[in-house]
Amino acid sequence: MTDNSGKARIEVANPVAEVRPEAIMPARRPNSISGKTVGLWWNTKSHGDVALSAAAEAIQQRYENVTIVRITRDMSHLPGPYGRVQESGCDAVIASTAD
């Protein structure tokens, strides 16, 4: 861009976006997970499945009649399997985003 004198003029723009936080209502928590279906969501990062397996074992030792459903991020459906989580019918979901 040049001005009337023929000299170059540089305009600097601030690339920082204005943050507009929105309130999000958290999901209702069940009083107990006994007799419920618990989803274990793994984003396929290293060792997240190990953490979820430990969580599943602890849940099954502590609560009665819990069904565990494993949900893995399907890379062909980016950005994530959130629809699959909702469609799973789980009463609660534990997510692992290991790095």
Q: Look at the pTM and tell me if it is higher than 0.75.
A: no
Q: Higher model confidence: residue 68 or residue 14? A: 68
CA distance 49 to 58: 14
pLDDT above 80 (res 4): no
For 12, 14, 22, 42, 61, the CA distances from 3, given in Å and listed in that order, are 15, 21, 42, 56, 74
In what helix (H) or strand (E) does residue 72 lie, and over which residues does it extend?
strand 67-72
Question: Can the peptide bond before residue 79 be classed as cis, meaning omega within 30 degrees of 0?
Answer: yes
CA distance 70 to 94: 10
pLDDT score for 63 = 95
Per-residue pLDDT of 19-75, as tens digits, reads 888 887 877 888 999 999 999 988 888 889 999 999 999 999 999 999 999 988 665
